[in-house]
């Protein structure tokens, strides 16, 4: 990625194994490599330390309030004439100070959590986009992609609400692109039920096309058997149904908007246990892409280990995805 900020090289450490007496007829045991991301570990450890300190402060402040109330009841209240009023005033002042302190402390912790999440996701983005030929990248953790962009792409029907964060904007090929963590909801009785969770890519170019093309890259059937894919198929014709993908279009002329070269570039991405499936929608002057990811990539870890393998997979996916976009 063309950024002023450079990503530290990941450290690769050999996994030490017990020494085994070598014999001529034994197979050679290959040494596995463990990849780690020092900056992510540092962000996580710094936050964990700050969070523990915050919890200790919270417990201490509660203990102090309880101690003052006990003193008020046992020492101040028994004082003749003024004890009752003095004790009540003492308790009221203590509770007011406690409420104000708790609010300040809670706000401080909330800011610390948001900072950790922003720092963590920015570092993941730096790693993921390192080999992508993109320009003009701008990161905004609090930024969102508008709900209407997802609805207009006609990926899933009856979407009532969406939420997003971790927005990254950049330019690749002929497209101005924005990508974010994204969740979409449908009505399920009285509740809203999430029907998509993952990365949503929304790209805009200058030239509009006639019709619409919808491509669904299928999941590994041994891992995700119940994945249904896109369901907003009105006006589309099934053009191809291959073992790895389904391709829909409004017409054969619209189908030509997705070149074989671009399709083959996208097919280099292999869905696995972290990436369930991919849907691509081409319409007007837009491209919309959903990548359904597991919690390993979507959740910022606190007690959990850094999901190194999931991040490396994401890097592979993003590199191929941006290559695909550059070929559209």
In a domain, 211, yes or no: yes
Q: Could you read off the pLDDT of 263-318 as tens digits, one per residue?
A: 999 999 999 999 999 999 999 999 999 999 999 999 999 989 999 999 999 999 99
Question: Do residues 241 and 229 touch, judged by C-beta distance below 8 A?
Answer: no
In a domain, 10, yes or no: no
The mean-pLDDT minimum among 69-83, 177-191, 266-280 falls in 69-83
112, 137, 163, 167, 279 from 122: Cα distances, Å: 15, 12, 19, 10, 25
Count of domains for the chain? 2
287 and 164 assigned to the same domain = yes
179 and 51 assigned to the same domain = no
- The mean per-residue pLDDT over the stretch 17-21 comes to 39
113 and 178 assigned to the same domain = no
For residues 282 and 297, what is the distance between their CA atoms, to the nearest angstrom? 26
Q: Which one of 106, 128, 150 terminates a domain? A: 128
pLDDT recorded at residue 221: 84
248 and 298 assigned to the same domain = yes
In a domain, 299, yes or no: yes
43 and 117 assigned to the same domain = yes
Beta-bridge partner residues of 177:
170, 203
For residues 35 and 93, what is the distance between their CA atoms, to the nearest angstrom? 54
pLDDT recorded at residue 34: 59
201 and 309 assigned to the same domain = yes
Q: Could you read off the pLDDT of 195-247 as tens digits, one per residue?
A: 999 999 999 999 999 999 999 999 998 888 777 789 999 999 999 999 999 99
- The mean per-residue pLDDT over the stretch 259-264 comes to 95
Of the candidates 127, 117, 118, the residue with the CA atom closest to the CA atom of residue 36: 127
78 and 169 assigned to the same domain = no
HSE-CB at 139 with a 13 A cutoff on CA atoms is: 19
In a domain, 123, yes or no: yes
In a domain, 197, yes or no: yes
Domain range for 65: 38-128
Q: Which one of 70, 93, 128 terminates a domain? A: 128
Q: Which one of 91, 109, 128 terminates a domain? A: 128
Examine the pLDDT at 14 and tell me if it is beyond 50: no
145 and 119 assigned to the same domain = no
Q: Is 298 left (phi over 0), alpha (psi -120 to 50) or beta?
A: alpha
pLDDT recorded at residue 81: 84
Beta-bridge partner residues of 317:
none
In a domain, 108, yes or no: yes
119 and 167 assigned to the same domain = no
In a domain, 19, yes or no: no
pLDDT recorded at residue 300: 95
Chain length of the chain: 328
Examine the pLDDT at 6 and tell me if it is beyond 50: no
pLDDT recorded at residue 223: 87
Which position has the higher pLDDT, 217 or 7? Answer: 217
- What percentage of the chain carries pLDDT values higher than 70? 90
Q: What is the pLDDT of the chain when averaged over all its residues?
A: 89
59 and 159 assigned to the same domain = no
187 and 294 assigned to the same domain = yes
SS3 28: coil
For residues 260 and 244, what is the distance between their CA atoms, to the nearest angstrom? 14
163 and 291 assigned to the same domain = yes
- Give the number of other Cβ atoms within 10 Å of residue 158's Cβ: 11
pLDDT interval class at 29 (50, 70, 90): very low
17, 20, 22, 28, 149 from 25: Cα distances, Å: 20, 13, 9, 9, 62
In a domain, 17, yes or no: no
């Amino acid at each position: 990625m063309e950024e002023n900020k450079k990503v530290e090289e990941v450290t690769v450490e050999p996994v030490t194994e017990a020494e085994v007496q070598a014999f001529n007829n034994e197979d050679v045991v290959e040494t596995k490599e463990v990849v780690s991301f020092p900056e992510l570990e540092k962000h996580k450890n710094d936050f964990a330390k700050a969070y523990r300190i915050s919890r200790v402060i919270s417990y201490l402040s509660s203990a102090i309030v309880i101690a003052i109330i006990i003193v008020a009841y046992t020492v101040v209240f028994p004082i003749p004439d003024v004890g009752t009023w003095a004790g009540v005033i003492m308790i009221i002042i203590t509770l007011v100070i406690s409420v104000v302190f708790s609010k300040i402390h809670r706000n401080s912790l909330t800011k610390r959590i948001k900072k950790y999440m922003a720092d963590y996701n920015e570092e993941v983005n730096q790693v993921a986009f390192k080999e992508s030929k993109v320009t003009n990248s701008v990161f905004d953790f609090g930024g969102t992609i508008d709900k209407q962009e997802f609805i207009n792409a006609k990926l899933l029907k009856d979407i009532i609400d969406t939420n997003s964060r971790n927005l990254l904007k950049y330019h690749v090929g002929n497209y101005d692109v924005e990508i974010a963590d994204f969740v979409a909801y449908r009505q399920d009785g009285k509740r809203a039920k999430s029907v998509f969770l993952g990365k949503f890519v929304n790209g805009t170019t200058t030239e509009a096309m006639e019709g619409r093309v919808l491509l669904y890259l299928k999941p590994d059937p041994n891992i995700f058997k119940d994945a249904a894919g896109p369901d907003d198929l009105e006006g589309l014709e099934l053009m191809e149904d291959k073992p790895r993908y389904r391709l829909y279009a409004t017409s054969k002329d619209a189908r030509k908007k997705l070149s074989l070269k671009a399709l083959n570039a996208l097919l280099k991405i292999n869905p696995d246990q972290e990436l369930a499936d991919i849907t691509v929608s081409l319409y007007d002057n837009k491209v919309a892409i959903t990548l359904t990811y597991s919690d390993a990539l979507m959740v910022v870890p606190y007690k959990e280990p850094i999901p190194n393998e999931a991040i490396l997979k994401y890097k592979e996916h993003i590199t191929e995805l941006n290559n695909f976009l550059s070929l559209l």
